[in-house]
Each structure stands twice: as structure tokens, then as C-alpha cells.
Amino acid sequence: MGGLILSIESSCDDSSIALTQIDSKQLIFHQKISQEKQHAAFGGVVPELASRLHAEVLPLILEKTKPYLKDLKAIAVTTEPGLNVTLMEGLMMAKTLSYALNLPLISVNHLKGHLYSLFLECDSCFPLGVLLVSGGHTMLLEAKSYEEITIQTQSLDDSFGESFDKVAKMLSLGYPGGPIVESYAKKGLQDFFSFPIPLRSKKQFAFSFSGLKNAVRVQIEKEKQNNGILSEEFKANLCASFQDSAITHLVQKCRIFFESNANQSNAWKSFGIVGGASANLLLREKMGKICKEYNATLLLAPLEFCSDNAAMIGRVAIESYRRNEFASVETLQTRPRIDAF
Ligand code: KG4
Ligand code: ZN
């Protein structure tokens, strides 16, 4: 079997454990149990509920990895960024395993995990431009190597995925909002409502979604006042128009990134889109066009590994293992927020 790394992910509302072979990078085992249904009633993730569910579910998944415990070489866990109370659940399990099995502990940055979802079961390639779009973050990154990942810009307020969640909540469509809003949008007209494109007139290299979200809220309130109910047709047109503005904004700011990259001597020639919201098909299509325009190769993770999962955490951990980058069982802590990699 060769040496394996066991990785644990619990930064938000997905409980996941993976086993990855260190030499071949092959994924030997992966299971993820999402808590989406339990949080749907609240229209978003409730941290304490999420933490309790991780405590229930992670041991059940771990049980299935028992036949492989003898082959383990290290235990990896997401420690940053994320919800503190849920990160703690994974960290406690990882520390217990590390201590009980006398195995080194590896601390993994969740966002680095999303980046490495592009390289599951294969070698990484750098340099790389990356758009990270998740429920917690919207960032443009430049990755020169495993160690050199820099944040080029990020959202000034809400994230891209979060804005979909909030629009879905305003329309009482359920949680997570991304896939629901996307499917409603397919049935609607994208130019039915003219929502603002955030930071359009400014050269500012940043993302913002709160103004757009407010414009959507005002439109919904107006409709409720005028008609009392929200028809399916209204919801579809609203979702299509909102999605179009949100994606146009992403694309406009990505264009600035591509433009400045083109003028550099050590320019990246591959561009990856990662994070849960990278599953959005309209976003993939529009970013595909920009990549073609600038002669960049578009990299995407397999759909099932776009959202949170332990396989991507295991993939990062292989790199740390090779560098002997281990954490201390006594002092390793969670870091809910990060400013840099
Ligand atoms: O990466 P992820 O699983 O969790 C975080 O690290 O935050 O991303 C989840 C986010 C949610 O906000 C969800 O609504 C959004 O990704 N999302 C989408 C789509 N699928 C998931 N947003 C837009 N379009 C989608 N198809
Ligand atoms: Zn994530």
C-alpha cells in the first residue's frame, strides 16, 4: 500500500476525511457528509450546530478508515481559515490520532487546499493565476510555487458565493444558494432587471457584492409591495439578472489581473478557478473566453472537489510531508482568519 496521509476537513459545514498515498498522490479513500439540509432551515450555517454535527459524524467516517491505519505516515487537518468552533472539531480529532498513533501532525490552510484541488492525483504546475470563489472568500491569487502564494486582491465585503446564498435566502429558495440561484437563472432573462455592476466605473482592483445584494433586496421588496407574492417568473428573472451582474463584475476585475500579468516577464500561463462557486457554469464559460483571449490554459477541479473536501487537504499535506513541515501537537491552534498565506 505504501505510506498514506489521513486528512480531515471541518472548516465549515462539510465533515470530510480522506486517505491519500504519498508517493503516487492517489486518493485511496474519500468521504464527505454535508450538513446542508440541517442548516437549510436557518438560511445559512449556524456555527454551534455545525460543530455538534462534526462531532457526531467525523468519528463515523473515521471508523471506515480503520483497515488503513497501519499504513499511515501522518495526520493532516485544516486549521485556517474557517469557523473557529468547527475547525476545533477537526483539530481535536487530528491531535488525538497523532498522539495515539505516534504520527506527525500537518496543519493545512483551507484556501491552499482549494488551490490544490486543481492537482488531485497529479503534479502541481506553477506559476499560476487563480480566482478563488467560495462561501467565505473571493480572491485573486498568484501562486509562484508551493510557498509563494500571494493575495492580489479580495472582496471588500461579502464573498461571491455568500451573495448567492443571501439572494436565495431573500427569495426563500433554500441553502446553499449557489446551485439553486444558478438553476433559477437558467429559466430567466439576464437583462430583465438592470442591477448595478459593482465598482464598474472605478479602476479599483477589488471585489464587492454588498451593493448588488442591496439592489436585489430593494427589487424584491418592491415586488412584494406591488404584487404581494413573488412569482416563479419573477424569481427566475431576478436570479438571472443578479447572476449576470455578479459574474460580469468578477470577469471585469479578472481582466485587470490578466492585463497586468501580460506585461510581466515571468507571466503565468495557466489560470485556475477554485472553490465551491467555481462549479457555476456561466462563470466557467465567461472565464474560459478570457483565458482564450489571453492565451492562458484554464484549469478547473473535478466538480465533486470544487466544494469543501478532505481530498484537497490531503493533497496539500503531501507537499508539507515532503518538506518535513510538521506541527506540534502541544501548540497547534486554529486561526479563523488569515491575511496572507
Ligand atoms: O468552497 P465552499 O464549498 O465553502 C467555503 O469554503 O466557503 O463554497 C461554498 C459556496 C456557497 O456560498 C455556495 O452557495 C457557493 O459556494 N456555490 C455556488 C455554486 N455552487 C456553490 N455559487 C454560485 N454558483 C454555483 N453553482
Ligand atoms: Zn472552502
Q: Give the domain CATH number at 107.
A: 3.30.420.40
Same-domain check for residues 132 and 115: no
Same-domain check for residues 150 and 86: no
Which of 154, 164, 304 to mutate to test ligand 1, by most ligand atoms within 8 A of the CB atom? 164
pLDDT band of 1, cuts 50, 70, 90:
low
Bond into 127 cis (ω within 30): yes
Same-domain check for residues 135 and 102: no
Same-domain check for residues 289 and 182: yes
Same-domain check for residues 144 and 273: yes
Nearest ligand atom owner, CA of 159: 1
Is residue 327, in this structure, part of any structural domain at all? no
| Axis-axis angle for helices 177-186, 232-262 (nearest 10) | 110
Is residue 294, in this structure, part of any structural domain at all? yes
Is residue 268, in this structure, part of any structural domain at all? yes
Nearest CA to ligand 1 atom 26: 280
Q: Domain count of the chain?
A: 2
Report which of 232, 129, 118 is spatially closest to residue 184, judged by C-alpha positions: 232
Residues with CB in 5 Å of ion ligand 2: 134, 308
Same-domain check for residues 150 and 274: yes
Same-domain check for residues 288 and 171: yes
Whole-number Å distance, alpha carbon 114 to ligand 1 midpoint, is 12
- Domain span holding position 58: 4-120+305-322
Is residue 88, in this structure, part of any structural domain at all? yes
Residue that the C-alpha cell 510538521 belongs to: 326
Same-domain check for residues 95 and 233: no
Q: What confidence tens digit (pLDDT) does each residue in 55-94 have?
A: 999 999 999 999 999 999 999 999 999 999 999 999 999 9
Same-domain check for residues 31 and 91: yes
Is residue 200, in this structure, part of any structural domain at all? yes
The dihedral through the CA atoms of 325, 6, 300, 188 has a sign that is negative
Q: Quote the pTM value.
A: 0.96
Same-domain check for residues 233 and 274: yes
Q: What confidence tens digit (pLDDT) does each residue in 114-145 have?
A: 999 999 999 999 999 999 999 999 999 999 99
Same-domain check for residues 60 and 170: no
